[in-house]
Structure 1
Amino acid sequence: MFDTSDQIRMQRSQGEASAAFAGGRLRGLRQQGSAKALLPRVRGVPEVVFLNTSGGLTSGDRLSYATETDARMVATTQAAERAYRADHGPAKVSVRHRVEGAGWLDWLPQETILFDRADLDRETVISLGPEAGCLMLEAVVLGRAAMGETVRALRFRDHRRIERAGRPVFLEPLTLSAPQPRHALLGAARAFATLVLCARGAEDAVAAARGALTVPGVEAAASGWDGKCVVRLLAADGWPLRQQILALMAALRRSAAPPRVWQL
């Protein structure tokens, strides 16, 4: 479908950013290339805000984010990540989080917007210690309805994994690859998201999650089993999806305020 030859050599974006905390205090910060890790001044739980200064992703771009913590931490992105037309191979994104001891991570990136003919490979891995927990969000929008954008073709491979003590406890490989991409479960929806709460007893949060599924225009369901609560969302556009995600954040984070960048 796409020309992946190397006849055209264009400048590519590469970036790596990581932050490590111990006892709630910063002990390591690394930034390189187009990736930045911002540390806003907030009370209580530390926040890490990742930023891709290149403005989006296309063929040959490489982006890497990582965190480590042994206490509570929130990590997010400053804005929606954009994957643009890519005619010469995929952009690649790697996300690695390690939560040790009895630590907790809220990984709450803003949505990924896939434009027509985007080509993106992404892998997200959250490694939990035996007593650690996390809340993981992934949200995707197929073009911006308000701008009249139509996604006619794309390649998107998104591999998400949560592991505890080295063993997978949640594994979700997603692939969208075709002209007029429509996953079997998407129907007419052009925005979708998954939230995963992973901790001992997380299945007990299903009632709270279902009680928060009140935003019109969003089709949603929640289920819980074996230390997990998983919520899946479908919407015709990114705006109602975002409002529903914010409602779920409040329900699953015990009314804690969303990260500051989500409030703008």
Structure 2
Amino acid sequence: MDTVAQETLTRGWQAKLDLRFTRAAHKTVLFSARHVGPLTVQRPFYPEDDVCHLYLLHPPGGIVGGDELHISVALETNCHVLITMPGAGKFYRSCGPQAQLRQDFTLAPNATLEWLPQDTILFPGANASIRSVFHLTSESRLLAWDLLCLGRPVLQERFSHGELHNRLEVWCDGVPLLIERLHLAHGELSAIANQPWCGTLLCYPATEAMLDGTRERLTPLGGYAGATLVDSLLTVRFLSDDNLVAQRVMRDIWHFLRPLLTEKPPHLPRIWQT
């Protein structure tokens, strides 16, 4: 195999998506959307008048070894954006090369971001690196979640081989509020109690009342869930062997937190109802 063909096989898709939001008149608008490769967005929706609902698209439907995807999102002052996806993200089995997904979010003062992606499924044999970084100010508002599915439990398939590097960072005015790393490899899943579903939910700024209400809503997950409040960052972590329970709890917490954080009632993205 010649050098060019080998590089093509090992590098895969090189995709970038850069989104910039501003406030115009009475609503948030997407004033810049630059993309390279198979990452794009649908036309923004305004089911709440001023809040911009946006659906992120990855037409290939999955990420394979050698793919490198970089998503960058920036919100100017007074913007409110809700971003989700039509379907689950997928990391497919790799013959060796690592698949990389980098996600960077920057929020100006009085900007609000709801980052609510669908599940991310890691097929057995996937070699994935995921890094998500949120840059906030003390006057920003964030409500975000992430739900990983290790293997395909519906098919009785575990993440029996492969590797995952997952890194999450939250910064406020240049100071780290949360930096954590999850590394899973060679079918060793004891770090997540051998559960196939692993979730995280973030809310900033949060209060003790929000912490108490969130903990009440974690009851269906039993002992595989917990919530902490440190420096106004509410961090919820949970494990499950049932995706329906995990998704229901996540949405229940979002329903509870959204009005308290944004003074707006819950408004489900239309794509979730199709």
TM-score (normalizing by structure 2): 0.86
Structure showing the higher helix proportion among its residues:
2
SS in 2 for 1:153: coil
Q: CA deviation at 1:74?
A: 1.1
Structure 2 unpaired stretches of 5+: 260-264
Distance, in Å, in 1 between the alignment partners of 2:57 and 2:31 is 20
Kindly indicate whether residue 67 of structure 2 is the aligned counterpart of residue 57 of structure 1.
no
Answer yes or no: is the 8 Å Cα contact 1:48–1:75 preserved in 2.
yes
Deviations 1:27-77 (A, max 9, x none): 111122111122342322102221211111111101121211122111222
Kindly indicate whether residue 218 of structure 2 is the aligned counterpart of residue 233 of structure 1.
no
- Structure-to-structure mapping, 1:110-259, within 5 angstroms: 110-177=118-185, 179-184=186-191, 186-199=192-205, 201-215=206-220, 219-254=224-259, 255-259=265-269
Count of matched residue pairs: 256
In structure 2, relative to structure 1, the CA distance for the partners of 1:176 and 1:52 (3 Å cut) is: same
Q: CA deviation at 1:203?
A: 4.2
For residue 72 of structure 2, the aligned residue among 59, 62, 66 is 66
Kindly indicate whether residue 12 of structure 2 is the aligned counterpart of residue 12 of structure 1.
yes
In structure 2, relative to structure 1, the CA distance for the partners of 1:209 and 1:156 (3 Å cut) is: same
Cα RMSD (Å) of the superposition?
2.1
In structure 2, relative to structure 1, the CA distance for the partners of 1:263 and 1:245 (3 Å cut) is: farther
Q: CA deviation at 1:9?
A: 5.0
In structure 2, the residue matched to 1:90 is 98
Distance, in Å, in 2 between the alignment partners of 1:82 and 1:228 is 29
Distance, in Å, in 1 between the alignment partners of 2:201 and 2:54 is 19
1:198 partner letter: Y
Structure showing the higher strand proportion among its residues:
1
2:227 partner letter: A
Answer yes or no: is the 8 Å Cα contact 2:221–2:246 preserved in 1.
no
In structure 1, the residue matched to 2:22 is 22
Answer yes or no: is the 8 Å Cα contact 1:50–1:65 preserved in 2.
no
Percent sequence identity over matched residues? 25
Answer yes or no: is the 8 Å Cα contact 1:220–1:233 preserved in 2.
yes
Answer yes or no: is the 8 Å Cα contact 2:40–2:57 preserved in 1.
yes
TM-score (normalizing by structure 1): 0.89
Deviations 1:187-218 (A, max 9, x none): 2311010101121x444411121222244678
Distance, in Å, in 1 between the alignment partners of 2:85 and 2:115 is 9
In structure 2, relative to structure 1, the CA distance for the partners of 1:130 and 1:156 (3 Å cut) is: same
Deviations 1:70-89 (A, max 9, x none): 22111222211101111222
Distance, in Å, in 1 between the alignment partners of 2:153 and 2:120 is 14
SS in 1 for 2:249: helix
In structure 2, the residue matched to 1:3 is none
Deviations 1:156-205 (A, max 9, x none): 1111111111221111111112x223132x22311010101121x44441
In structure 2, relative to structure 1, the CA distance for the partners of 1:56 and 1:206 (3 Å cut) is: same
Distance, in Å, in 2 between the alignment partners of 1:115 and 1:78 is 19
Answer yes or no: is the 8 Å Cα contact 2:45–2:54 preserved in 1.
no
In structure 1, the residue matched to 2:43 is 39
Deviations 1:145-164 (A, max 9, x none): 22232321121111111111
Distance, in Å, in 2 between the alignment partners of 1:229 and 1:204 is 11
Structure 1 unpaired stretches of 5+: 1-5
Answer yes or no: is the 8 Å Cα contact 1:31–1:37 preserved in 2.
no
Distance, in Å, in 2 between the alignment partners of 1:15 and 1:126 is 20
